Structure formats: C-alpha cells, structure tokens
Structure 1
Amino acid sequence: MNKADQKSAGLVVFVLLVVAAGFLVYMSVGQVGLDDEGVGIDLGYRLNVNTASAAELQVLPGIGPTIAENIVSYREAHGAFESFEQLDDVSRIGAKTRAKFQPYIKLGENDTP
C-alpha cells in the first residue's frame, strides 16, 4: 500500500469512527431532540451542561460544533456554570440562543430549567 492509499484508508477509518461516535451520542442522549420542523421537543431528559461533552451538547437546539466547544472551553477555564444566565458569557451565546436550549439543560443533578 503506497502513502496515498494509506492516507485514504486512514481518512475512511476516521470518518467511520466519527459517525459511530455521533450515533452513540445520539442513542445515549436521544431523549432530547428536534421535531420535523427543527423545533426543540422535550422527551423527558435534560442534559447536565456542567458535565456534558461537546458531542453531547450538539444535540441541543441552536448548538453546533463551535458553540459546543465554546461551552466546554469556558467551563474548563471558569469552572461549573452556577446559573443559566452565566451561559450568556460564552462566545456566540446570548439570551436568544440560550432560550432555545435552556429547557433541555440542567446545571446539577436536581436543577430545573
């Protein structure tokens, strides 16, 4: 196998791993989701924003890869979120974005949205 073939095979394996990881996150956090119109629906589960990975955060309405990484980075730099409003301090999150996903998150084990 030449170098080009090795790189192609490596890329295919990487893509398959990313897809598999995404599927596992979807299955484990599948209780939060979007309806057919892209509107968030509550399926009885709230994600702990203080412990969730970037991949898990991406299932929330309005949260893509960049904002998910911003949440994790902010949390690592400043510690756990103590209020929902503190999420507004994260780059690319404001009150409107937070309003989209706040019903689906919690800050601790017993918090309410």
Structure 2
Amino acid sequence: MAEADTAREQAHRLLELWSALALRHVALGGACACGAGGVSLRLEDFELDIADYLQDGGERHEDADVAGWFKARAGQPPGSQPLRDLLDGVLSGAVPTAAADWVLPRLERTLRSFAELHGGL
C-alpha cells in the first residue's frame, strides 16, 4: 500500500506541476509572445508529444506488464488532455503499479526540464 500511496503522491505533484506549466508560453524564433514577431506556443501544445513519447517507450519496455498495459491502450484515441488522464489514472488506481512506477519518473524528468527551461516554478 505504501508504494501505491507514493505513486499517488507523485502523480498529484506532477498534476499540479503540469497544470502550472501548461498555460505558460514558449517563444520560438527569437521573440516573445508578449512582444512583436516570432512564434509562441503554450507548453500545453506539447502535451500530445509528451504523451506519445511515454506511450512509445512504454510499449517497447522490457517488462511485459508495462509493455502490455501501454500496448492495450495504444488503440484508444487520446483524450483532449492525455497527461491529465494518465495522472488521473494513477491517482484512481487504474494504472497498474508497474506501469506507474515506470512512467512517473520519466514524466517528472520531462516536466521538470520544461520548468527549468521556461522560467521554473
């Protein structure tokens, strides 16, 4: 039970972090969205890319339980908020422990990297 609580605590922290990061903007092309020129995207625009990265890695994982869970969800269309859905699944216990233990550290590294690169929190 302690491992599940730890995964849920981590999922909750990551959900809060993602919620804070998702609305931030990333300036591309040398200008900020606050000024003229350049292109700006919200970090939320990268959500599907992050979810795809995790999905691909999970499907190729050597642990059959992890790979099996990710492969089983591969045919499902992603929701409008795939990272929130994944973290909600961990919080509700719908994501098996092996898959949660694999995905949460990777998602944490990714989100922390975004936070460091784009103004921190």
User: What is the TM-score when the length of structure 1 is the normalising length?
Assistant: 0.32
Asked which structure has the greater CA Rg, the reply is 1
Q: Which has the higher helix share?
A: 2
User: What is the TM-score when the length of structure 2 is the normalising length?
Assistant: 0.30
